[in-house]
Chains A and B, each alone.
Chain A
Amino acid sequence: MKYVIEMKNVKKIYRNGSEVVALKGVNLKVKRGEFLMIVGPSGSGKSTMLHLMGALDKPTSGTVKIMGNDISKMSDTELSRIRRDLIGFVFQQFNLIQSLTVLENVMFPMALAGRADRKKAVEIIISCGLTEEHINKFPSQLSGGEQQRAAIARALANDPEVLLADEPTGQLDSKNTRRIMELFKSINEEGNTVVVVTHDISLVSWSDRTVILQDGRIAAEVTSPSPSDVAELVSG
């Protein structure tokens, strides 16, 4: 399969008292092994797009296919399975489970899938740049950068088809931002598909392709982008 994710004419409307149209017809295909970045100002629909790509939510109209599976036709349980087996999520707030250690956090998605493997979990944690002494610590005992590494390790636990990251460096300083982006790059170079959502234009040069989202629509698309190219497109 060439495309990991296919979005076709996707609309998403939130009805919560008032009506908010978050996506106004988006078409996007994510190739296997690609490092894609989605940039745009806040409120442009970036997170909504990521939630749809990650089977957390269903589109109001249009289709979203993850590895060929049309998510709008799936039950909640089936969506959970898609997230568990095909998707790895990384969040801005790290979102580790506070009552579990680093190792247990990584083993949690494995246990959900019924294949908890301590040895493999430790290998993933080490490959994400943490050391043996971190694995039995609780999230509250780690720095922001370390927590994000643990969260990335958790996202990789079940060998997902695609790693989805929502503002993964939003809480980090420039040194840790660089390190986390290097980690994403190396994960991508090992053949994993990576999609990063950010409002930080300076990061776009890490990606193979950048999509600029504005007001619920894809405004532009740049391959092998530089920050200045993108800045121009955003302001223009």
Chain B
Amino acid sequence: MLSVKMAIRNIRRRKIRSLLTIMGVAISIAAIVGVSAISVGMKHDIKAAIGGSASLIVKSKSAPDPISSAMDQSIEYKIKKLKYVKKVVAVWFNNRVVQVDGVSYPIMITAVEHGDYDFIVGSKVIPIKGHLPRNGEIAFGAQAWRVFNERTKLKIGEKVNLQGVVLKLSGEFKTSSQLANMCAITTLKSVKPIRGNTISCLFIQTDKPDYVKKEIERKFKGVQAISTSNAVKSMLNNLKTVELAAIALTSIAGVVGALGVSNTMLMSVLERRREIGIMKAVGATKYDIMKIFIVEAIILSLIGGVIGVVLGSVGARVVIYIISEVKGTSISVMITPSVIIFGIATAVLIGVISGIYPAWKAARVDPVKVLRDE
């Protein structure tokens, strides 16, 4: 307890120096937290893009991906009857020029049954204006809404022309998947005049994806079942390289922060040689002295870490917002508890590592030499 008190008072006594050191740590932690939040967000987007909560996706064998695939909906009812299949959701994807109030814009339409919006996105679909579309209605994701709204004032209830069918705008929605936020969603029935009996793919939930995949591919010719976990895995593997490079670059920031703390602590040890000598004279062991200085380094870094987590969270959002403004596409920034814990833990690690050498120097101060200088 006394060592914590001493540390806090010593940090406060040298305000400017402490502040500069803390900011050094804060900036490095901000970089680390920012990159982690974006990387977690990207992983989330990939998982959502590949099948939401589904464990298998069934598409036509000839199509390169589920979005460009086309199948007859009759397969849905047959697959529903298979063993171990818990849930089957038919999805129709279509890239279509949509017209509102004379303004045209190409947009990805995703059609499912009314209750299945959350399932295909893999997270909660939240209406922020109006409600989620029922039959005869359509809703825009937040990004899509913004793009239209820049050109024409959108109103709930107004006509949306899909070139083949006209639907009512039911509202605007938001999800944690930036990809979904760029889409429009509607029900399968609403787009029946365009699609007839065609669907793009089926999202399947099962506890035994390997068995069900084999069964489907054995029973139905011309279709392919993709395990989403495998697809996600291979995508995430590609992302790993990028992630590792990002971690390597941000660790440079961490090293810079650690050097700052180390430098400050070394100066502190030099200035407090006398105090260290006295502490030893009254009975402090080498380990007691080391503890006092490492605690101080950890507290300095921890304050920097907390500021860094806040700075990094805000910073990452701002950076991604600017990119989405410029480029029109966006990715998620996710400040999860694990991102925060990672940031704080890195700060503590910086404190320990940068405190060891100064603490060791402090522990070696010879009390006799210091006292003889009186």
Choose one: A51, A83, A109, A112; the contact of B371 (CB below 8 Å).
Answer: A51
In angstroms, how far is the closest chain B Cβ from the Cβ of A188?
Answer: 20
In angstroms, how far is the closest chain B Cβ from the Cβ of A44?
Answer: 14
A51-B371, A56-B367, A97-B275 as given contacts; A158 in contact with B283, CB under 8 Å: yes
Assess whether B281 is interfacial by the CB under 8 Å rule.
yes
Q: Render B248-280 as a binary contact track against A, CB cut-off 8 A, 1 for contact.
A: 000000000000000000000000001100111
CA distance A91 to B373 in the complex (A): 12
Nearest 9 A-B pairs (CB), nearest first?
A84-B283, A80-B285, A99-B9, A83-B283, A95-B278, A57-B368, A109-B282, A77-B285, A111-B2
Assess whether B287 is interfacial by the CB under 8 Å rule.
yes
CA distance A22 to B120 in the complex (A): 86
In angstroms, how far is the closest chain B Cβ from the Cβ of A12?
Answer: 10
Q: Render B304-325 as a binary contact track against A, CB cut-off 8 A, 1 for contact.
A: 0000000000000000000000
CA distance A81 to B275 in the complex (A): 18
Q: Are B374 and A85 in contact (CB under 8 A)?
A: no
Assess whether B1 is interfacial by the CB under 8 Å rule.
yes
Assess whether A100 is interfacial by the CB under 8 Å rule.
yes
CA distance A80 to B290 in the complex (A): 14
Q: Are A81 and B283 in contact (CB under 8 A)?
A: yes
CA distance A97 to B286 in the complex (A): 17
Assess whether B218 is interfacial by the CB under 8 Å rule.
no
Tell me the count of chain A residues lying within 8 A, CB to CB, of chain B. Answer: 35
Provide the residues of chain B in CB contact with A95, threshold 8 Å: 274, 278, 281
Choose one: B281, B284, B285; the contact of A54 (CB below 8 Å).
Answer: B281
Provide the residues of chain B in CB contact with A81, threshold 8 Å: 283, 285
Q: Render A107-132 as a binary contact track against B, CB cut-off 8 A, 1 for contact.
A: 11101110010000000000000000
Counting chain A CB atoms within 10 Å of each CB, which of B279, B282, B285, B288 scores highest?
B282
- New contact pairs (5) apart from A76-B286, A83-B280, A104-B5, CB-CB < 8 Å: A77-B285, A89-B282, A97-B275, A109-B282, A113-B283
Q: Render A59-101 as a binary contact track against B, CB cut-off 8 A, 1 for contact.
A: 0000000000000000011001101110101011101111110
In B210-243, the 8 Å CB interface with A consists of none
Assess whether A47 is interfacial by the CB under 8 Å rule.
yes
A98 to B, closest residue via Cβ: B275
Assess whether B13 is interfacial by the CB under 8 Å rule.
yes
A56-B368, A80-B285, A91-B371 as given contacts; A100 in contact with B279, CB under 8 Å: no
Q: Are B280 and A80 in contact (CB under 8 A)?
A: yes
Provide the residues of chain B in CB contact with A108, threshold 8 Å: 2, 279, 282
Provide the residues of chain A in CB contact with B13, threshold 8 Å: 99
CA distance A127 to B275 in the complex (A): 25
Assess whether B338 is interfacial by the CB under 8 Å rule.
no
Provide the residues of chain A in CB contact with B165, threshold 8 Å: none
In angstroms, how far is the closest chain A Cβ from the Cβ of B351?
Answer: 19
Q: Are B279 and A56 in contact (CB under 8 A)?
A: no
Choose one: A51, A96, A104; the contact of B2 (CB below 8 Å).
Answer: A104
Using CB atoms and an 8 Å cutoff, list the residues of chain A in contact with chain B.
47, 51, 54, 56-57, 76-77, 80-81, 83-85, 87, 89, 91-93, 95-100, 104, 107-109, 111-113, 116, 154-155, 158, 166
Q: Render B5-31 as a binary contact track against A, CB cut-off 8 A, 1 for contact.
A: 110011001000000000000000000
Assess whether B372 is interfacial by the CB under 8 Å rule.
yes
Q: Are B9 and A80 in contact (CB under 8 A)?
A: no
Provide the residues of chain B in CB contact with A111, threshold 8 Å: 1-2
Provide the residues of chain B in CB contact with A57, threshold 8 Å: 368
Choose one: B6, B9, B279, B374; the contact of A91 (CB below 8 Å).
Answer: B374
26 contacts across the A-B interface (CB closer than 8 A): A47-B371, A47-B372, A56-B367, A77-B285, A80-B280, A80-B283, A80-B288, A81-B283, A83-B281, A83-B282, A83-B283, A84-B282, A84-B283, A85-B283, A91-B371, A93-B374, A97-B6, A97-B275, A97-B278, A99-B13, A99-B275, A104-B5, A107-B2, A108-B2, A109-B282, A112-B284
Counting chain A CB atoms within 10 Å of each CB, which of B274, B280, B282, B283 scores highest?
B283
Provide the residues of chain A in CB contact with B284, threshold 8 Å: 80, 84, 112
CA distance A99 to B293 in the complex (A): 14
In angstroms, how far is the closest chain B Cβ from the Cβ of A112?
Answer: 5
Provide the residues of chain B in CB contact with A93, threshold 8 Å: 374
Q: Are B374 and A112 in contact (CB under 8 A)?
A: no
